[in-house]
Amino acid sequence: MWAVIKKELKSYFTTPIGYVFIGVFLIAFSVSFYFTVIGYGNINFEYIYLSLPTILVLAFIIPLLTMRSIAEERKTGTEQLLLTSPLSITKMILGKFISATIIVIITEICTLMYFAIICHYGIPHITTALATMLGFLLFCMSYISFGILASSITENQIIAGIISIGFFIITWVLPDFNENLSGFSFINMFYKYTQGQIDIADTVTFITFTITCILLTITFMQRRKSVK
Amino acid sequence: MIEVKNVTKKYGKVVAVDNISFTIQDGEIIGLLGPNGAGKSTTMNMITGYIEPTEGTIIIDNYDISKRPKKAKKEIGYMPEGVPLYTDMTVKEFITYMAEIKKIDKKERKEKVEKIIEETGLKEVEKKITKNLSRGYKQRVSLAGALVGEPKILILDEPTVGLDPKQITEIRKLIKDLGKKHTIILSSHILSEVSQICQKVIIINKGKIVAIDTPENLENKVSNKNSLYVTVEDTENKIEKVTKKIKEITKIELIKENEDKTKEYLIESKLDTDLRKILFQEFAKENITIFEMKKADTTLEDAFMKLIEGGN
Protein backbone atom coordinates (compact mmCIF):
# COMPACT_ATOMS: atom_id res chain seq x y z
CA MET A 1 0.00 0.00 0.00
CA TRP A 2 2.87 2.33 0.87
CA ALA A 3 4.18 1.89 -2.67
CA VAL A 4 0.87 3.09 -4.12
CA ILE A 5 0.72 6.10 -1.77
CA LYS A 6 4.27 7.07 -2.65
CA LYS A 7 3.64 6.70 -6.37
CA GLU A 8 0.37 8.64 -6.28
CA LEU A 9 1.89 11.48 -4.27
CA LYS A 10 4.80 11.63 -6.67
CA SER A 11 2.47 11.78 -9.64
CA TYR A 12 0.43 14.57 -7.99
CA PHE A 13 3.58 16.64 -7.96
CA THR A 14 5.09 15.59 -11.28
CA THR A 15 1.84 16.59 -12.96
CA PRO A 16 0.35 20.04 -12.23
CA ILE A 17 -2.61 18.55 -10.30
CA GLY A 18 -1.05 18.77 -6.84
CA TYR A 19 0.11 22.33 -7.36
CA VAL A 20 -3.19 23.38 -8.90
CA PHE A 21 -5.13 21.93 -5.96
CA ILE A 22 -3.02 23.61 -3.30
CA GLY A 23 -2.53 26.80 -5.29
CA VAL A 24 -6.12 27.37 -6.28
CA PHE A 25 -7.36 26.57 -2.80
CA LEU A 26 -4.92 28.99 -1.24
CA ILE A 27 -5.95 31.73 -3.68
CA ALA A 28 -9.59 31.26 -2.70
CA PHE A 29 -8.53 31.11 0.93
CA SER A 30 -6.61 34.36 0.52
CA VAL A 31 -9.61 36.06 -1.01
CA SER A 32 -11.86 35.16 1.89
CA PHE A 33 -9.03 35.94 4.29
CA TYR A 34 -8.86 39.42 2.78
CA PHE A 35 -12.56 40.02 3.18
CA THR A 36 -13.05 38.55 6.64
CA VAL A 37 -9.82 39.58 8.35
CA ILE A 38 -8.65 42.67 6.50
CA GLY A 39 -12.10 43.87 5.40
CA TYR A 40 -14.22 43.20 8.47
CA GLY A 41 -11.46 42.98 11.01
CA ASN A 42 -12.67 39.55 12.02
CA ILE A 43 -10.15 37.27 13.66
CA ASN A 44 -12.15 34.06 13.30
CA PHE A 45 -10.03 31.52 11.43
CA GLU A 46 -13.05 29.26 10.91
CA TYR A 47 -14.90 31.95 8.93
CA ILE A 48 -12.27 31.73 6.25
CA TYR A 49 -12.74 27.98 5.93
CA LEU A 50 -16.50 28.24 5.72
CA SER A 51 -16.78 30.95 3.11
CA LEU A 52 -18.22 31.00 -0.36
CA PRO A 53 -14.92 31.22 -2.29
CA THR A 54 -13.32 28.24 -0.53
CA ILE A 55 -16.36 25.98 -0.77
CA LEU A 56 -17.01 26.98 -4.38
CA VAL A 57 -13.44 26.23 -5.33
CA LEU A 58 -13.55 22.90 -3.52
CA ALA A 59 -16.42 21.75 -5.72
CA PHE A 60 -14.01 21.80 -8.65
CA ILE A 61 -10.64 20.95 -7.23
CA ILE A 62 -11.57 17.85 -5.23
CA PRO A 63 -12.86 16.14 -8.40
CA LEU A 64 -9.64 17.26 -10.07
CA LEU A 65 -7.73 15.36 -7.43
CA THR A 66 -9.71 12.14 -7.75
CA MET A 67 -11.04 11.92 -11.28
CA ARG A 68 -8.00 10.27 -12.80
CA SER A 69 -7.18 7.92 -9.94
CA ILE A 70 -8.76 4.80 -11.40
CA ALA A 71 -10.22 5.98 -14.71
CA GLU A 72 -6.78 6.71 -16.09
CA GLU A 73 -5.30 3.43 -14.95
CA ARG A 74 -8.11 1.69 -16.73
CA LYS A 75 -7.75 3.69 -19.89
CA THR A 76 -4.01 3.25 -20.25
CA GLY A 77 -4.19 -0.39 -19.19
CA THR A 78 -1.86 0.01 -16.22
CA GLU A 79 -4.79 -1.31 -14.19
CA GLN A 80 -3.75 -4.72 -15.50
CA LEU A 81 -0.35 -4.34 -13.91
CA LEU A 82 -1.87 -3.53 -10.54
CA LEU A 83 -4.58 -6.16 -10.63
CA THR A 84 -2.23 -8.94 -11.67
CA SER A 85 0.30 -8.06 -8.97
CA PRO A 86 0.07 -9.57 -5.48
CA LEU A 87 -1.29 -6.22 -4.29
CA SER A 88 -4.92 -6.52 -3.19
CA ILE A 89 -7.63 -4.27 -4.58
CA THR A 90 -8.36 -2.96 -1.09
CA LYS A 91 -4.79 -1.78 -0.64
CA MET A 92 -4.73 -0.23 -4.07
CA ILE A 93 -7.90 1.80 -3.42
CA LEU A 94 -6.83 2.73 0.11
CA GLY A 95 -3.48 3.85 -1.25
CA LYS A 96 -5.16 6.17 -3.71
CA PHE A 97 -7.56 7.49 -1.06
CA ILE A 98 -4.84 8.14 1.48
CA SER A 99 -2.59 9.93 -0.99
CA ALA A 100 -5.41 12.31 -1.97
CA THR A 101 -6.13 12.87 1.72
CA ILE A 102 -2.47 13.69 2.29
CA ILE A 103 -2.73 16.45 -0.32
CA VAL A 104 -5.64 17.93 1.66
CA ILE A 105 -3.62 17.71 4.87
CA ILE A 106 -0.68 19.48 3.19
CA THR A 107 -3.11 22.20 2.10
CA GLU A 108 -4.44 22.54 5.63
CA ILE A 109 -0.92 22.89 6.96
CA CYS A 110 -0.33 25.65 4.41
CA THR A 111 -3.37 27.52 5.74
CA LEU A 112 -1.71 27.68 9.15
CA MET A 113 0.28 30.63 7.92
CA TYR A 114 -2.97 32.59 7.74
CA PHE A 115 -3.60 31.54 11.31
CA ALA A 116 -0.23 33.00 12.20
CA ILE A 117 -1.15 36.29 10.51
CA ILE A 118 -4.45 36.38 12.39
CA CYS A 119 -2.50 35.92 15.62
CA HIS A 120 -0.79 39.17 14.77
CA TYR A 121 -4.15 40.99 14.90
CA GLY A 122 -5.60 39.31 17.96
CA ILE A 123 -6.04 36.00 19.73
CA PRO A 124 -8.13 33.61 17.65
CA HIS A 125 -9.93 30.71 19.25
CA ILE A 126 -7.54 27.80 18.86
CA THR A 127 -9.97 24.96 19.72
CA THR A 128 -12.52 26.20 17.23
CA ALA A 129 -9.82 26.52 14.60
CA LEU A 130 -8.68 22.95 15.24
CA ALA A 131 -12.25 21.63 15.20
CA THR A 132 -12.79 23.44 11.91
CA MET A 133 -9.68 21.88 10.43
CA LEU A 134 -10.78 18.43 11.57
CA GLY A 135 -14.25 19.03 10.13
CA PHE A 136 -12.75 20.26 6.89
CA LEU A 137 -10.59 17.15 6.62
CA LEU A 138 -13.56 14.83 7.19
CA PHE A 139 -15.63 16.89 4.75
CA CYS A 140 -12.95 16.56 2.07
CA MET A 141 -12.42 12.86 2.78
CA SER A 142 -16.08 12.20 2.04
CA TYR A 143 -15.84 13.90 -1.32
CA ILE A 144 -12.51 12.26 -2.12
CA SER A 145 -13.95 8.81 -1.49
CA PHE A 146 -16.95 9.64 -3.65
CA GLY A 147 -14.63 10.98 -6.36
CA ILE A 148 -12.67 7.72 -6.38
CA LEU A 149 -15.92 5.78 -6.60
CA ALA A 150 -16.95 7.91 -9.60
CA SER A 151 -13.56 7.32 -11.15
CA SER A 152 -13.93 3.58 -10.76
CA ILE A 153 -17.14 3.33 -12.73
CA THR A 154 -15.87 4.90 -15.94
CA GLU A 155 -12.68 5.01 -17.94
CA ASN A 156 -13.28 8.59 -18.94
CA GLN A 157 -11.80 11.00 -16.41
CA ILE A 158 -13.94 13.89 -17.60
CA ILE A 159 -17.12 11.94 -16.87
CA ALA A 160 -15.72 10.94 -13.48
CA GLY A 161 -14.95 14.59 -12.79
CA ILE A 162 -18.39 15.79 -13.81
CA ILE A 163 -20.11 13.17 -11.66
CA SER A 164 -18.10 14.30 -8.65
CA ILE A 165 -18.73 18.00 -9.29
CA GLY A 166 -22.43 17.25 -9.75
CA PHE A 167 -22.55 15.33 -6.49
CA PHE A 168 -20.80 18.14 -4.64
CA ILE A 169 -23.18 20.78 -5.95
CA ILE A 170 -26.28 18.69 -5.31
CA THR A 171 -25.34 17.96 -1.70
CA TRP A 172 -24.56 21.65 -1.34
CA VAL A 173 -27.73 23.23 -2.74
CA LEU A 174 -30.25 20.50 -1.92
CA PRO A 175 -31.21 21.93 1.51
CA ASP A 176 -32.10 25.20 -0.19
CA PHE A 177 -34.92 23.49 -2.03
CA ASN A 178 -36.36 21.60 0.88
CA GLU A 179 -35.54 22.12 4.53
CA ASN A 180 -36.15 18.48 5.35
CA LEU A 181 -33.10 17.63 3.29
CA SER A 182 -30.79 19.84 5.28
CA GLY A 183 -29.67 16.84 7.29
CA PHE A 184 -28.11 15.42 4.14
CA SER A 185 -26.01 18.47 3.50
CA PHE A 186 -22.33 17.95 4.23
CA ILE A 187 -21.90 21.71 4.39
CA ASN A 188 -24.41 21.94 7.23
CA MET A 189 -22.52 19.23 9.04
CA PHE A 190 -19.26 21.02 8.45
CA TYR A 191 -20.87 24.22 9.75
CA LYS A 192 -21.17 22.71 13.23
CA TYR A 193 -17.43 22.09 13.37
CA THR A 194 -16.84 25.74 12.58
CA GLN A 195 -18.93 26.54 15.63
CA GLY A 196 -16.36 24.70 17.69
CA GLN A 197 -18.45 21.64 18.36
CA ILE A 198 -17.36 18.21 17.26
CA ASP A 199 -20.68 16.47 16.85
CA ILE A 200 -20.38 12.71 17.23
CA ALA A 201 -23.29 12.08 14.88
CA ASP A 202 -21.77 14.23 12.15
CA THR A 203 -18.34 12.72 12.58
CA VAL A 204 -19.81 9.26 12.34
CA THR A 205 -21.78 10.27 9.25
CA PHE A 206 -18.69 11.59 7.49
CA ILE A 207 -16.65 8.52 8.35
CA THR A 208 -19.45 6.12 7.46
CA PHE A 209 -19.98 7.83 4.13
CA THR A 210 -16.26 7.64 3.37
CA ILE A 211 -16.02 3.97 4.29
CA THR A 212 -19.15 3.16 2.28
CA CYS A 213 -17.76 4.81 -0.81
CA ILE A 214 -14.44 2.99 -0.46
CA LEU A 215 -16.19 -0.33 0.07
CA LEU A 216 -18.41 0.30 -2.94
CA THR A 217 -15.34 1.08 -5.04
CA ILE A 218 -13.69 -2.16 -3.93
CA THR A 219 -16.88 -4.09 -4.70
CA PHE A 220 -17.11 -2.52 -8.15
CA MET A 221 -13.53 -3.37 -8.93
CA GLN A 222 -13.97 -6.92 -7.73
CA ARG A 223 -17.20 -7.34 -9.64
CA ARG A 224 -15.66 -6.06 -12.82
CA LYS A 225 -13.22 -8.96 -12.63
CA SER A 226 -16.01 -11.44 -13.15
CA VAL A 227 -18.18 -9.32 -15.43
CA LYS A 228 -15.48 -7.85 -17.62
CA MET B 1 2.97 -25.78 -13.20
CA ILE B 2 -0.20 -24.30 -14.60
CA GLU B 3 -3.39 -26.31 -14.66
CA VAL B 4 -6.37 -24.96 -16.52
CA LYS B 5 -9.42 -27.09 -15.85
CA ASN B 6 -12.67 -26.80 -17.80
CA VAL B 7 -12.49 -23.04 -17.97
CA THR B 8 -15.28 -21.09 -19.59
CA LYS B 9 -15.60 -17.34 -19.87
CA LYS B 10 -18.77 -15.63 -20.96
CA TYR B 11 -19.25 -11.95 -21.66
CA GLY B 12 -22.96 -11.68 -21.25
CA LYS B 13 -24.22 -14.22 -23.74
CA VAL B 14 -21.08 -14.28 -25.82
CA VAL B 15 -18.84 -17.22 -25.03
CA ALA B 16 -15.26 -16.03 -25.34
CA VAL B 17 -13.59 -19.15 -24.02
CA ASP B 18 -15.44 -22.43 -24.14
CA ASN B 19 -14.54 -25.20 -21.72
CA ILE B 20 -10.79 -25.36 -22.24
CA SER B 21 -8.37 -27.52 -20.28
CA PHE B 22 -4.62 -27.87 -20.51
CA THR B 23 -1.59 -28.33 -18.31
CA ILE B 24 1.74 -26.61 -18.67
CA GLN B 25 4.78 -28.17 -17.01
CA ASP B 26 7.61 -26.21 -15.43
CA GLY B 27 10.20 -24.96 -17.88
CA GLU B 28 8.07 -25.24 -20.99
CA ILE B 29 7.70 -22.48 -23.55
CA ILE B 30 4.15 -22.54 -24.83
CA GLY B 31 2.75 -20.64 -27.75
CA LEU B 32 -0.88 -19.63 -27.72
CA LEU B 33 -1.95 -19.33 -31.29
CA GLY B 34 -5.15 -18.27 -32.92
CA PRO B 35 -6.80 -15.74 -35.17
CA ASN B 36 -7.87 -12.38 -33.76
CA GLY B 37 -10.72 -12.71 -31.31
CA ALA B 38 -10.08 -16.39 -30.71
CA GLY B 39 -9.79 -15.98 -26.95
CA LYS B 40 -6.03 -15.81 -26.52
CA SER B 41 -5.96 -12.65 -24.44
CA THR B 42 -9.00 -13.73 -22.45
CA THR B 43 -7.27 -16.99 -21.58
CA MET B 44 -4.14 -15.13 -20.53
CA ASN B 45 -6.10 -12.61 -18.52
CA MET B 46 -7.76 -15.44 -16.64
CA ILE B 47 -4.46 -17.18 -15.91
CA THR B 48 -3.03 -13.94 -14.52
CA GLY B 49 -6.09 -13.34 -12.37
CA TYR B 50 -7.03 -10.09 -14.11
CA ILE B 51 -10.46 -11.47 -14.86
CA GLU B 52 -12.33 -14.35 -13.28
CA PRO B 53 -13.47 -17.34 -15.28
CA THR B 54 -17.23 -17.86 -15.38
CA GLU B 55 -16.68 -21.56 -14.75
CA GLY B 56 -13.73 -23.80 -14.05
CA THR B 57 -10.53 -23.46 -12.08
CA ILE B 58 -7.02 -22.30 -12.79
CA ILE B 59 -4.27 -23.58 -10.54
CA ILE B 60 -0.85 -21.96 -10.50
CA ASP B 61 1.74 -24.00 -8.61
CA ASN B 62 -0.90 -25.58 -6.39
CA TYR B 63 -2.61 -22.25 -5.62
CA ASP B 64 -6.04 -21.58 -7.05
CA ILE B 65 -5.87 -18.12 -8.63
CA SER B 66 -9.41 -17.26 -7.48
CA LYS B 67 -9.02 -18.49 -3.92
CA ARG B 68 -5.39 -17.76 -3.12
CA PRO B 69 -4.70 -14.88 -5.52
CA LYS B 70 -1.82 -13.39 -3.53
CA LYS B 71 0.28 -16.54 -3.56
CA ALA B 72 -0.60 -17.44 -7.12
CA LYS B 73 0.05 -13.96 -8.50
CA LYS B 74 3.49 -13.90 -6.91
CA GLU B 75 4.51 -16.68 -9.28
CA ILE B 76 3.40 -14.80 -12.38
CA GLY B 77 5.03 -12.05 -14.40
CA TYR B 78 2.62 -10.57 -16.90
CA MET B 79 3.32 -8.43 -19.91
CA PRO B 80 -0.09 -7.27 -21.12
CA GLU B 81 -1.04 -6.56 -24.70
CA GLY B 82 -0.29 -3.03 -25.82
CA VAL B 83 2.43 -2.58 -23.17
CA PRO B 84 0.75 -0.31 -20.63
CA LEU B 85 3.27 1.84 -18.77
CA TYR B 86 3.06 4.76 -16.37
CA THR B 87 4.00 7.50 -18.79
CA ASP B 88 5.16 10.01 -16.19
CA MET B 89 7.78 7.72 -14.70
CA THR B 90 11.34 7.08 -15.75
CA VAL B 91 12.31 3.54 -16.71
CA LYS B 92 14.02 2.98 -13.38
CA GLU B 93 11.12 4.43 -11.41
CA PHE B 94 8.70 2.18 -13.25
CA ILE B 95 10.67 -0.98 -12.61
CA THR B 96 11.19 0.03 -8.97
CA TYR B 97 7.46 0.62 -8.59
CA MET B 98 6.73 -2.80 -10.06
CA ALA B 99 9.22 -4.25 -7.56
CA GLU B 100 7.43 -2.43 -4.75
CA ILE B 101 3.94 -3.62 -5.61
CA LYS B 102 5.32 -7.12 -6.00
CA LYS B 103 6.55 -6.78 -2.44
CA ILE B 104 10.21 -7.38 -2.99
CA ASP B 105 12.23 -6.94 0.15
CA LYS B 106 13.55 -3.41 0.51
CA LYS B 107 17.12 -4.58 1.05
CA GLU B 108 17.23 -6.54 -2.18
CA ARG B 109 15.09 -4.22 -4.25
CA LYS B 110 17.76 -1.88 -5.57
CA GLU B 111 20.08 -4.68 -6.50
CA LYS B 112 17.37 -6.69 -8.26
CA VAL B 113 16.10 -3.70 -10.22
CA GLU B 114 19.65 -2.98 -11.38
CA LYS B 115 20.07 -6.60 -12.44
CA ILE B 116 16.88 -6.61 -14.48
CA ILE B 117 17.80 -3.33 -16.15
CA GLU B 118 21.09 -4.90 -17.19
CA GLU B 119 19.46 -8.11 -18.39
CA THR B 120 16.89 -6.41 -20.57
CA GLY B 121 19.40 -3.94 -21.98
CA LEU B 122 17.77 -0.82 -20.58
CA LYS B 123 20.84 0.66 -18.88
CA GLU B 124 21.26 3.48 -21.40
CA VAL B 125 17.65 4.66 -21.12
CA GLU B 126 17.04 4.08 -17.41
CA LYS B 127 16.68 7.79 -16.70
CA LYS B 128 14.34 8.50 -19.60
CA ILE B 129 10.61 9.04 -19.15
CA THR B 130 8.78 5.99 -20.53
CA LYS B 131 6.51 8.21 -22.64
CA ASN B 132 9.46 9.23 -24.82
CA LEU B 133 10.79 5.75 -25.52
CA SER B 134 10.62 3.97 -28.84
CA ARG B 135 8.23 1.05 -29.20
CA GLY B 136 11.02 -1.48 -28.88
CA TYR B 137 12.24 -0.02 -25.63
CA LYS B 138 8.71 0.25 -24.26
CA GLN B 139 8.31 -3.45 -24.93
CA ARG B 140 11.50 -4.13 -23.03
CA VAL B 141 10.41 -1.97 -20.10
CA SER B 142 7.16 -3.88 -19.94
CA LEU B 143 9.04 -7.16 -20.08
CA ALA B 144 11.37 -5.92 -17.34
CA GLY B 145 8.30 -5.10 -15.26
CA ALA B 146 7.09 -8.65 -15.73
CA LEU B 147 10.48 -10.07 -14.79
CA VAL B 148 10.69 -8.24 -11.47
CA GLY B 149 10.36 -10.57 -8.52
CA GLU B 150 11.74 -13.56 -10.39
CA PRO B 151 8.37 -15.11 -11.16
CA LYS B 152 8.41 -18.76 -12.18
CA ILE B 153 5.88 -18.12 -14.90
CA LEU B 154 6.05 -15.44 -17.56
CA ILE B 155 2.96 -14.58 -19.55
CA LEU B 156 3.61 -12.47 -22.60
CA ASP B 157 0.71 -11.21 -24.67
CA GLU B 158 1.89 -10.59 -28.22
CA PRO B 159 5.40 -9.58 -27.22
CA THR B 160 6.69 -8.73 -30.68
CA VAL B 161 3.77 -6.77 -32.10
CA GLY B 162 4.75 -3.45 -33.63
CA LEU B 163 8.48 -4.03 -33.62
CA ASP B 164 10.90 -3.75 -36.50
CA PRO B 165 12.67 -6.93 -37.69
CA LYS B 166 15.84 -6.20 -35.73
CA GLN B 167 13.92 -5.61 -32.52
CA ILE B 168 11.87 -8.74 -33.15
CA THR B 169 14.97 -10.91 -33.34
CA GLU B 170 16.32 -9.24 -30.21
CA ILE B 171 13.14 -9.81 -28.23
CA ARG B 172 12.88 -13.39 -29.46
CA LYS B 173 16.41 -14.07 -28.35
CA LEU B 174 15.63 -12.52 -24.99
CA ILE B 175 12.54 -14.71 -24.63
CA LYS B 176 14.50 -17.80 -25.58
CA ASP B 177 17.12 -17.01 -22.95
CA LEU B 178 14.41 -16.40 -20.37
CA GLY B 179 12.92 -19.77 -21.26
CA LYS B 180 15.90 -21.43 -19.62
CA LYS B 181 14.81 -20.18 -16.22
CA HIS B 182 11.07 -19.56 -16.55
CA THR B 183 7.94 -21.25 -17.76
CA ILE B 184 6.68 -19.04 -20.57
CA ILE B 185 3.31 -18.67 -22.21
CA LEU B 186 3.27 -16.32 -25.15
CA SER B 187 0.52 -15.47 -27.53
CA SER B 188 1.07 -14.55 -31.09
CA HIS B 189 -0.48 -14.73 -34.48
CA ILE B 190 2.89 -14.93 -36.17
CA LEU B 191 3.32 -18.63 -36.75
CA SER B 192 6.97 -18.67 -37.69
CA GLU B 193 7.72 -16.96 -34.42
CA VAL B 194 5.91 -19.60 -32.43
CA SER B 195 7.61 -22.47 -34.25
CA GLN B 196 10.98 -20.86 -33.60
CA ILE B 197 10.57 -20.13 -29.91
CA CYS B 198 8.03 -22.57 -28.53
CA GLN B 199 8.29 -26.22 -27.65
CA LYS B 200 4.56 -26.66 -27.64
CA VAL B 201 1.69 -24.90 -29.35
CA ILE B 202 -1.89 -24.50 -28.26
CA ILE B 203 -4.12 -23.50 -31.13
CA ILE B 204 -7.33 -21.77 -30.13
CA ASN B 205 -10.18 -20.88 -32.40
CA LYS B 206 -13.54 -19.44 -31.39
CA GLY B 207 -12.79 -20.05 -27.73
CA LYS B 208 -12.03 -23.73 -28.18
CA ILE B 209 -8.75 -25.59 -28.22
CA VAL B 210 -8.20 -27.01 -31.67
CA ALA B 211 -4.85 -28.66 -31.04
CA ILE B 212 -2.09 -28.99 -28.45
CA ASP B 213 1.19 -30.36 -29.75
CA THR B 214 4.76 -29.61 -30.71
CA PRO B 215 5.14 -27.50 -33.86
CA GLU B 216 6.77 -30.43 -35.70
CA ASN B 217 4.00 -32.86 -34.82
CA LEU B 218 1.37 -30.39 -35.90
CA GLU B 219 3.06 -29.99 -39.24
CA ASN B 220 3.27 -33.74 -39.71
CA LYS B 221 -0.25 -34.35 -38.54
CA VAL B 222 -1.92 -32.31 -41.21
CA SER B 223 0.24 -33.49 -44.09
CA ASN B 224 -1.15 -36.69 -45.64
CA LYS B 225 1.06 -36.75 -48.68
CA ASN B 226 4.65 -36.30 -49.78
CA SER B 227 5.17 -33.45 -52.18
CA LEU B 228 8.23 -32.61 -54.26
CA TYR B 229 9.08 -29.60 -56.32
CA VAL B 230 11.14 -30.72 -59.29
CA THR B 231 12.70 -28.47 -61.89
CA VAL B 232 13.75 -30.31 -65.02
CA GLU B 233 15.07 -29.70 -68.51
CA ASP B 234 12.86 -31.81 -70.70
CA THR B 235 13.34 -30.82 -74.33
CA GLU B 236 11.54 -33.82 -75.73
CA ASN B 237 8.55 -33.56 -73.42
CA LYS B 238 8.90 -37.02 -72.08
CA ILE B 239 8.07 -36.35 -68.53
CA GLU B 240 4.36 -37.15 -68.79
CA LYS B 241 5.15 -40.53 -70.20
CA VAL B 242 7.79 -41.31 -67.62
CA THR B 243 5.71 -40.33 -64.68
CA LYS B 244 2.82 -42.41 -65.86
CA LYS B 245 5.05 -45.44 -65.56
CA ILE B 246 5.86 -44.75 -61.93
CA LYS B 247 2.99 -46.16 -59.93
CA GLU B 248 3.82 -44.32 -56.71
CA ILE B 249 3.01 -40.92 -58.17
CA THR B 250 -0.48 -39.80 -57.32
CA LYS B 251 -0.44 -36.41 -58.96
CA ILE B 252 1.75 -34.33 -61.22
CA GLU B 253 1.21 -30.69 -61.92
CA LEU B 254 3.11 -28.12 -63.97
CA ILE B 255 3.82 -25.14 -61.80
CA LYS B 256 5.66 -22.87 -64.19
CA GLU B 257 7.86 -22.74 -67.25
CA ASN B 258 11.07 -20.86 -66.73
CA GLU B 259 12.81 -18.65 -69.26
CA ASP B 260 15.71 -21.07 -69.62
CA LYS B 261 13.29 -23.70 -70.93
CA THR B 262 13.24 -25.64 -67.70
CA LYS B 263 9.92 -26.58 -66.16
CA GLU B 264 8.91 -26.81 -62.54
CA TYR B 265 6.56 -29.58 -61.50
CA LEU B 266 4.85 -30.46 -58.29
CA ILE B 267 4.84 -34.22 -57.86
CA GLU B 268 2.90 -35.89 -55.10
CA SER B 269 2.96 -39.38 -53.66
CA LYS B 270 1.64 -41.15 -50.61
CA LEU B 271 3.14 -40.26 -47.25
CA ASP B 272 5.17 -43.47 -46.84
CA THR B 273 7.02 -43.37 -50.15
CA ASP B 274 10.03 -41.26 -50.94
CA LEU B 275 10.03 -40.46 -54.63
CA ARG B 276 13.38 -38.80 -54.83
CA LYS B 277 15.46 -41.86 -55.61
CA ILE B 278 12.97 -43.26 -58.14
CA LEU B 279 12.64 -39.97 -59.96
CA PHE B 280 16.40 -39.56 -60.13
CA GLN B 281 16.86 -42.99 -61.69
CA GLU B 282 13.93 -42.88 -64.09
CA PHE B 283 14.62 -39.36 -65.31
CA ALA B 284 18.26 -40.24 -65.94
CA LYS B 285 17.25 -43.14 -68.16
CA GLU B 286 15.11 -40.89 -70.30
CA ASN B 287 17.63 -38.06 -70.49
CA ILE B 288 15.62 -35.68 -68.41
CA THR B 289 18.00 -33.46 -66.48
CA ILE B 290 17.04 -32.58 -62.96
CA PHE B 291 18.05 -29.03 -62.11
CA GLU B 292 16.49 -28.87 -58.72
CA MET B 293 14.49 -31.10 -56.45
CA LYS B 294 13.13 -30.15 -53.04
CA LYS B 295 10.59 -31.37 -50.57
CA ALA B 296 7.58 -29.17 -50.14
CA ASP B 297 7.32 -28.86 -46.38
CA THR B 298 4.01 -28.35 -44.77
CA THR B 299 4.56 -25.39 -42.54
CA LEU B 300 2.90 -24.49 -39.32
CA GLU B 301 1.02 -22.02 -41.43
CA ASP B 302 -0.66 -24.85 -43.36
CA ALA B 303 -1.34 -26.70 -40.16
CA PHE B 304 -2.88 -23.64 -38.63
CA MET B 305 -5.12 -22.91 -41.59
CA LYS B 306 -6.20 -26.52 -41.83
CA LEU B 307 -7.01 -26.85 -38.17
CA ILE B 308 -8.90 -23.59 -38.08
CA GLU B 309 -10.87 -24.38 -41.18
CA GLY B 310 -11.51 -27.85 -39.85
CA GLY B 311 -12.96 -26.28 -36.74
CA ASN B 312 -15.35 -24.28 -38.84
Q: How many residue pairs bridge chain A and chain B with CB atoms within 8 Å of each other?
A: 71
Assess whether pLDDT exceeds 60 at residue B312. Answer: no
Give the DSSP H/E element, type plus range, for residue B165.
helix B165-178
State how far the Cα of B159 lies from the Cα of A97, in Å rounded to an integer: 34
Residue B44: which H helix or E strand, with range? helix B40-48
pLDDT tens per residue across span B231-287:
888 777 888 888 888 888 888 888 888 888 888 888 888 777 778 888 888 888 888
Q: What is the least distance, in Å, from the CA of B76 to any CA of chain A?
A: 8
Q: HSE (CB half, 13 Å, CA atoms) of B166?
A: 3
Three-state DSSP class for residue B210:
strand
Which residues in chain A have Cβ-Cβ distances shorter than 8 Å to B71?
Answer: 86
Residues A47 and A129: beta-carbon distance below 8 Å: no
Antiparallel, parallel or unpaired: β B208-213 and B262-270? unpaired
Q: What are A1-27's pLDDT values in tens digits?
A: 889 999 999 999 988 999 999 999 999
- Cβ distance A11 to B76 less than 8 Å, yes or no, reads no
For chain B, positions 81-120, list CB contacts with chain A under 8 A: 82, 84-88, 97-98, 100-103
User: Burial, B99: exposed, middle or buried (Cβ in 10 Å; 0-12, 13-18, 19+)?
Assistant: buried
> Which helix (H) or strand (E) element contains residue B268?
strand B262-270
pLDDT in single tens digits along all 228 residues of chain A:
889 999 999 999 988 999 999 999 999 999 999 988 888 888 888 888 888 889 999 999 999 999 999 999 999 989 999 999 988 899 999 999 999 999 999 999 999 999 998 888 888 888 999 999 999 999 999 999 999 999 999 889 999 999 999 999 988 887 777 777 777 788 888 888 988 888 898 999 999 999 999 999 999 998 888 776
Q: Where in chain B is the domain with CATH 3.40.50.300?
A: 2-220
- Give the residue range(s) of CATH 3.30.70.2040 domains in chain B: 224-298
A9: left (phi over 0), alpha (psi -120 to 50) or beta: alpha
Closest Cα in chain A to B46: A225
The domain ranges of chain A are 2-227
Interface test with chain B among A81, A87, A223, by most B beta carbons within 10 Å: A81
Distance in Å, alpha carbon of B4 to nearest chain A alpha carbon: 17
Chain A residues touching B98 at Cβ < 8 A: 81, 85
Residue B129's DSSP bridge partners are B90
CB spacing of B101 vs A83 below 8 angstroms: no
Cα B129 from Cα B141, distance rounded (Å): 11
Write down the number of H helices and E strands in chain B: 11, 14
**What architecture does CATH give domain B2-220?**
3-Layer(aba) Sandwich (3.40)
As its CATH architecture, domain B224-298 has 2-Layer Sandwich (3.30)
Nearest residue on chain A to B73, judged by CA atoms? Answer: A86
- The Cα B305–Cα B212 span in angstroms is 15
